[in-house]
Structure 1
Amino acid sequence: MHRIFLLIAALTLSNLGCDTVTLDGLVGERIDRSEAQEFVGRWVSEDAEVFDFQLAKDGTLIAGVISWDEEQQRHIASDHKIDIRRCGTATYGLFQENAGRYGFVRVQLQSGKRMQFLSPDPKKFREAVESGTLDGSINPKKNNHFNVHIKAESKLTNEVLSTGKIADWNDPELTQTFRCIKRFDSGEKTK
C-alpha cells in the first residue's frame, strides 16, 4: 500500500488502535486557486510511487493513485481529497475523517518541485494539550493508545498552528517527500 495513503489512513482512521491527532473543524483559510495550482502535477515519492494531484472546481486538491490488488488481480484507482489551508505562515493539508473530525499534515512546498507532508506527532500534541499550550482533549483508546482532539476555533490553536512553534512536532517516520516529475498546468516536465 502506498505510504501517502497509509499516512491518510493513520490520520483518518483513529479506530485502528494507533495514536492520532485530529481537529474538530477547519483551521486557517483555503489557499487561493493560483497557489493551489502549484500542487497540480504528477509527483513521485521517495519510495518511487507515482501520484497525480489535480485541483477540483471547488479548490480541493485530489490525490489519485493506481495500485495493484493482488487478491482481485486488477488495478484499482483511488482518490483522496486534501483541503490545502494556510494558518499564519504555515500550510496544512486537511483530510476529513467524518463530520467534525479532520486529520491533518503540515505541507511544505519548495519551488513547486519538492513537497513534504509532515504528520503530527501525537505524543507532542498530547503534551501540548496537557500543558495548556493547545485547547483540546485526550481520548484514551485500547492498549494505551489515544486520540488528541484539538479545538480548531480556539485562539490557542490558531497561535500554535500559525507560527513555527510546531516545526518539530511532526512524526519523522510518517513524513512523506515528493518530487514533481510533470506539471499539468503547462504540461512541462521538471527534473
Structure 2
Amino acid sequence: MLITAVEPRRKGLSALFLDGEFAANIDTETLLRSGLRPGREIDDDQLHGLILESDNRRAGEKALYLLEHRNHSQKELADKISRITTREAAEAAARHMAELGLVNDGEYARDLAADLFRRKGYSASRVRRELLQKGIEEELVQQILEEKAPDPVEKIRELLDKKYGRLLGDEKGRRRSIAALQRLGYGWDDIRAAINQFENEDE
C-alpha cells in the first residue's frame, strides 16, 4: 500500500491516507518516529504495528494527564482512557501506572470512602456500591468499610442535626427527610431509631 497523504488533525493526531483513501488517525509523534511519509510503501503488518504503537502512546499520555488532576482507581483510569484508544491499550496503560506506583487502589479507595462518609454523608451500603463501581475488589471494600464506616444511627443523627431535622415538623417535611436519608443508602430501621432519638431529645 502506498502512503499518499498525511494530514494534521486535532489533539496531536495525523490522518494517514493509503492508496488515496483514509486509513487511520495516528499519533503524530509516533508517525514521525516511524519515518513513514507520503510516497513510502507500507504493508498490513507495519500498519497494524503503527496503530498499536500509536494507541499505546496515546493511552500513556492520557493516563498521565488524568492522574495530574486527581487520583483514579485502575479500572476507572482504564475506562476513561478507552474513550480514545482500544480497551487493550487502556488497560495496559492503567497497569503500567499501577506498576509505577502512580495508581494505588487501596489508597484511592480509602480516601474516597472517607470523603463519601464525611462530605456526602453516605451509608456503608452506598459507599460499598460506589467503590465496587470504581472497580475496587470486594475483599478490599469490606476491609475499608470495617475500618471507616461510622455507626449508622449516629451518622443519621448528625445529618438530622445539620440538615434534615428542621423538616420533621410536618408530615410533608418528614417524608422528604426520610426519602433523602434513604437516597444516601440508610435503612428504615436506622432512620426510625435516629429520628426517635432526635425527637425525644428535643422534647
TM tier, shorter chain? under 0.3
- Identify, as 1 or 2, the structure richer in helix: 2
Question: TM-score if structure 1 supplies the norm length?
Answer: 0.17
Question: TM-score if structure 2 supplies the norm length?
Answer: 0.16
- Identify, as 1 or 2, the structure richer in strand: 1
Task: Give 1 or 2 for the bigger CA radius of gyration.
Answer: 2
